[in-house]
Amino acid sequence: MDTSPKQSQLKTILAGFIGNVAEWYDFAVYGYFAAVIGPLFFPSDNPALSLIAAFGAFAAGFIVRPMGAIVFGYIGDKLGRAKALFLSLAAMAVPTIAIGLLPTYEAIGIAAPILLVLLRMVQGLSVGGEYTSSIVYLVEQAPVNRRAFIGSWSKVGATTGVLVGSAVGAIFTYFLDDAQISSWGWRVPFLLGFVVALAGILFRRAMAAEPKKEILKNPVKTAFANYWRLIFKVTAMKITLGVGFYGIFVYAVTYIREIDGFSATSAFQLNLAAMLALVTLLPLASILSDRIGRKPLLLAGSGTLAFGGIPLFFLIHSTSPMTVLMGEVGFAIGIAMFSAGATATVVELVPSETRCTVVAIAHNTAMALFGGTTPLIAAWLLTSTGDPIAPGYWIAGASLFSFFAILTTIPETRGRTLA
């Protein structure tokens, strides 16, 4: 059997990559079909209120992510990273198929939106452990001079999941009319997501466990007692990723349809092109991070969203497809640079004994408070102010906060020994 470093690194990358594809595919599909799901599960005379309610259910999946972070962070630090990765993906598979089969409000009344929110919360618990556990696993297994690059494949997997979800959305909206999508078409992507999750579960069953190490009796208690300042710093740093990614690659699909007036097919195609740009840029920016350091990429990425957020959103608010795409790609560049710096930084900052717990709590707190709520906030700002650029102000303001948090509190970690 080939046990060369190249072979080992490839297996490591695949282990971190595949689960994120499955996890984020489902989250993306929900975000993309929110305009359809809203009236079916949250009927209202005002379509804007139905959409806001649908994004509220989307946000509910993020609100519980810190709880998932605690649960799966504990498992990762206590039982091993591989065990946390396997269990988190298994916890995603059942709610995915359940959403695809869930009766609507017309069929079962108020039980429909309640069940939908509960299923989203179970998925949120799962994602609370998946992404950060895979980051820790990948970076810990990587050579010191390739940590950012190998760690980036967790984000590439997550982005690929969103990309595949966008592609599936584009295909279904191209071949089916609005009535077919509303009647049954929106369900099929969720059912397909179960197949992807099952494939990931089977792959991860073969993952090798990490070498035995000294284990704390209660890593969660230690994390909050000894590293609460670090949790706060990483949370502040990650705000820009939450608002940027979910503002552009989830909410913007609905924005381009509802505000810019593009067809559903065109909106999906534009998002697909922007996601392809992000997937391409992530490994390249990560190679740069391994060469010049983490902090320059963190500042460049958060700065792009902070100081370019409003002008880039002006580009997205256009009737020209190429202009919209330029705006989306501009955001993709900023997100790629930030992610390239952040992925290795969060692992290099935290001691091994509580690494899964601290990274998971910080990341998921930022995503819960600022990521999952961004589509809801953006839709509310737009409805309340009537200003089509209002979502851009939110992205810029939140990212500016992260920029100064990084500038003043986050050290350079490239080359640091993993304790």
Task: Kindly report, residue by residue over 80-92, the tens digit of the pLDDT.
Answer: 777 777 777 777 7
Q: For residue 3, what pLDDT is reported?
A: 43
Q: Is residue 21 a contact partner of residue 196, using CB atoms and an 8 Å limit?
A: yes
Return the domain boundaries, the chain: 7-207+219-409
Q: 415 with 146: CB under 8 angstroms?
A: no
* Dihedral (Cα; 172, 178, 182, 188), 10-degree rounding: -10
The confidence score (pLDDT) of residue 1 equals 37
Query: Which stretches in the chain have pLDDT values below 70?
Result: 1-8, 203-217, 419
pTM score: 0.81
**Residue among 13, 27, 46, 66 nearest 367 (CA):** 66
Residue 183 CB-density burial (10 A; 0-12 exposed, 13-18 middle, 19+ buried): middle
For position 208, what pLDDT does the model report? Answer: 53
Distance separating alpha carbons of residues 88 and 76, to the nearest angstrom:
10
Residue entry with tokens 């804007």? 48
> 322 is written with which tokens?
């190429």
Asked if CATH classification 3.40.50.970 holds for the domain at 7-207+219-409, the reply, yes or no, is no
Only one residue has tokens 């900052």, namely 349
Residue 229 exposed, middle or buried by CB count within 10 Å (0-12, 13-18, 19+): exposed
Query: Could you report the per-residue pLDDT of 194-225, keeping only the tens digit for each?
Result: 777 777 777 666 555 555 555 666 778 888 88
Neighbours of 206 (CB within 10 A): 10
Q: How far is CA 345 from the centre of its chain?
A: 18
DSSP class per residue in 15-39: HHHHHHHHHHHHHHHHHHTHHHHHH
Crossing angle of the two packed helices 355-366 and 111-141, in degrees rounded to 10: 130
